[in-house]
A and B are shown apart, each in its own frame.
Chain A
Amino acid sequence: MKEKKTISPLRRILVNCTAQANEYGACVAAKVPEVERDMCLKEFLALKTCMQNTLRGKV
């Protein structure tokens, strides 16, 4: 049993990068059902940089 609530990194990322996540999600949602690989790459890269920043220590 966890004694303290450890916040998993993924949750921290989602909390910090809500804006980028929303943009990425909107991009994909608009293009469903024809989904191709790397179709929303630009938005995803923004999300990824935000994720790396969060993990590196909230730069």
Chain B
Amino acid sequence: MRRFLFSQTSCSLLRRQRRPKDIPHRWFLSSASFSTAEYDDGDAFQSSPSKVKIFDRHLKRTQRDRAAWLLRPNDSFVHAVAENLVDRLEDCKKTFPTALCLGGSLQAVRQMLRGRGAIQKFIMMDTSYDMLKLCKSSQLDSGNENIETSYVVGDEEFLPIKESSVDLVISCLGLHWTNDLPGAMIQCKLALKPDGLFLAAILGGETLKELRIACTVAQMEREGGISPRVSPLAQVRDAGNLLTRAGFALPGVDVDEYVVRYKSALDLIEHLRAMGETNALLQRTNILKRETALATAAIYDSMFAAKDGTIPATFQHM
């Protein structure tokens, strides 16, 4: 799995953190507004002024609420990803007293932490209130009581965190739903102290390519047109650019591919739903005709089935 490993040291060989001089000390209280329509934080980065809205964040929040109820506490896939991510903490010698965990699979990250990185204060942030409630209620039986944890409801694109206040930012499978990934990363960087670490795991471009193909073929055969069903995902080659553009020194990207087998296409969809990863594109058509769904399942089976009748699904992590 590719993770963004960012360690900004004060060594003069590496690019230093350039602080724009006109940013005051901003202190956002937890933002209740999730719309990306008015985003006046233009002085943080000088990219194109037009805000591209690809994902429907309101719907994403609803899906995360549902996932909070559906996700089993021992989901092996999410735990494998989180374990891999948190492992990276052991590669660094320094300790991280304050850590911020952005949404995606918060609970898995916390369970996998088990004292790595010497984290004393943990801030968990998610757009979905239900997910945070779940984390809170399971805090008592996870054995991490000596870590002071606080829960914030917030949007990854409008980080309500004071600048230079956290040592570590972890995001496990959350950032591929942001409308503005570079902007979100820049905000993470601003929240980090100098010499802080940014670890993230996002899904890459090869993810679910079988599903993408099956959906497209089925829809073309049944209806004659196609509408996007799988969200656009970052390509591997762009990952390094994203990191340097956000201003991180020492970027590192790894790729991991998991091929998960399901008994049928329906199981795959149910798993995606339980993880909160279902379609949230703004361009989606709400209508999925029963015939098209049936056709998709049949085509997925016939094109990609293994000999024992299970179907593979690729998940590529960066």
Q: Using CB atoms and an 8 Å cutoff, list the residues of chain A in contact with chain B.
A: 1, 8, 10-11, 13-14, 21-22, 24-26, 28-29, 32, 35-40, 44, 47-48, 51
B299 surroundings in chain A (CB, below 8 A): 24-25, 28-29
A21 surroundings in chain B (CB, below 8 A): 294, 297-298, 301-302
Answer whether residue B69 sits at the interface, using C-beta atoms and an 8 A cutoff. Answer: yes
Answer whether A25 and B302 are a contact pair too, CB < 8 Å, given A14-B297, A32-B217, A51-B294. Answer: yes
Chain A residue at minimal CB-CB distance from B70: A1
Bound: A44/B301 CA distance, A: 15
A-B contact pairs, 11 of them (CB 8 A): A11-B266, A25-B300, A25-B302, A28-B221, A29-B299, A29-B303, A36-B221, A37-B220, A37-B224, A39-B221, A40-B221
- Are A32 and B303 closer than 8 Å at their CB atoms? yes
Q: How many interface residues does chain B have, given as a range?
A: 20 to 34
Chain A residue at minimal CB-CB distance from B217: A35
CB contact list, B284-318 vs A, under 8 A? 290-291, 293-295, 297-303
- Are B290 and A38 closer than 8 Å at their CB atoms? no
B222 surroundings in chain A (CB, below 8 A): 37-38, 44
- Are A29 and B223 closer than 8 Å at their CB atoms? no
- Are B301 and A25 closer than 8 Å at their CB atoms? yes
